[in-house]
Structure 1
Amino acid sequence: MTIILLGYMASGKSLVSKLLGKQLGLPVLDLDDFIERKEEKTIREIFETKGEIYFRMKEHQYLKEVLETKQAMIVSLGGGTPCYANNMNLIHEYTTHTFYLQTSIPEIINRVKDEKAKRPLISAIADEDLPEFIGKHLFERNAFYQQATHTVFTDKKQIEELVLEIETVLN
């Protein structure tokens, strides 16, 4: 069984995938970490040196490589992965277990406000401009996120609660 977690930055994909993997006894693969290992560069370095088009092409290639193993695992996607190169269609060829971790704009802002420097997408955006930027970005990505087979609302929930919700759907 392959389980895919997707959603916007700070939706909890990485934390949820780690605990879910532990609970289900499945390996966890963070696609961004996988790309960084394969390319021997950070995502930020790839964007800076090769550009977004190159990154999205490689992201698709590595996603396909991971899915084609047909290994039972949990895959945590980058926030933009579902939105490019027909990646959602590719994902649905390999699994029906896709979970959109949906998080509200105020909750995202609350989670990222102290770690902007670690997030290239928002590092240069003024705090007062974050709501508009994130709102616009979420609006653009929503059609892709909504293609997930399940939606889990993350606001005001502990990681353990989110994992339990996902486990309940899987059982």
Structure 2
Amino acid sequence: MPFYDLDQLIEETYGNSIPALFLEEGEAGFRQKERDVLQNFLARTSHFILATGGGAPCFYDNMERLNAASHTLYLAVEPDEIVQRLHQEAREQRPMFAGLNTAEARMKLQDLLSIRERYYEEAKIKLSTDQIRTEFVIAQLLGLL
């Protein structure tokens, strides 16, 4: 199946990076653009794998749209593991984490998860990925599908 990344589709559609769109539009404007790109993608694409990013399912009924159009998967990861994966250079590429040190990033992530997790839990499939090799997660997923 072809793989798509929603952030990459947004950048291609608007000709600008995600950090630049956040800066120009603010989060509200960015989320509207994200919704529009997602709606257009789902209307014209079938049989795909789509990485949405953490916020996309939480705005404008996007999770409902995703569930209606596809099998949705929530790869649950503990906040400390995410912070370890999200080193300083990577944080600078994520508008909500840019300029934050590790402790601040952990707090921000925990705040976001407390708000967003209810949307993530609406996914049709949920897998915990903490301390598990990618191959094992893929095998689990294939068994569920």
Return the TM-score normalized by structure 1. Answer: 0.79
* 1:113-145 deviation digits (Å, cap 9, x = unpaired): 343223322122222223322111100101100
1:102 to 76, 81, 88: 76
* Counterpart secondary structure, 2:29: helix
**Does residue 131 in structure 1 map to residue 106 in structure 2?**
yes
**Does residue 57 in structure 1 map to residue 8 in structure 2?**
no
> Which letter maps to 2:82?
I
* 1:14-36 deviation digits (Å, cap 9, x = unpaired): xxxxxxxxxxxx10110100000
Aligned mates of 1:60, 1:131 — CA distance in 2: 27
Matched-pair contact (CA < 8 Å) for 1:102–1:153: yes
> Which letter maps to 1:103?
V
Aligned mates of 2:108, 2:34 — CA distance in 1: 24
Report which structure shows greater RCO (CA 8 Å, sep ≥6). Answer: 1
> Which letter maps to 1:99?
L
Aligned mates of 1:39, 1:125 — CA distance in 2: 27
* Counterpart secondary structure, 1:51: helix
**Which residue is equivalent to 1:43?**
18
Matched-pair contact (CA < 8 Å) for 2:22–2:95: no
* Counterpart secondary structure, 1:44: helix
* Counterpart secondary structure, 2:73: strand
Matched-pair contact (CA < 8 Å) for 1:83–1:141: yes
Aligned mates of 1:83, 1:144 — CA distance in 2: 6
Matched-pair contact (CA < 8 Å) for 2:79–2:110: yes
Matched-pair contact (CA < 8 Å) for 1:70–1:94: no
Name structure 2 gaps, 5 residues minimum. Answer: none
What RMSD in Å do the two structures reach over aligned CA positions? 1.3
> Which letter maps to 1:50?
E
Aligned mates of 1:93, 1:128 — CA distance in 2: 37
Q: Moved runs in structure 1, 4+ residues, more than 3 A?
A: none
**Does residue 119 in structure 1 map to residue 76 in structure 2?**
no
1:161 is displaced (CA, Å) by: 1.6
> Which letter maps to 2:99?
A
Return the TM-score normalized by structure 2. Answer: 0.92
Matched-pair contact (CA < 8 Å) for 2:21–2:30: yes
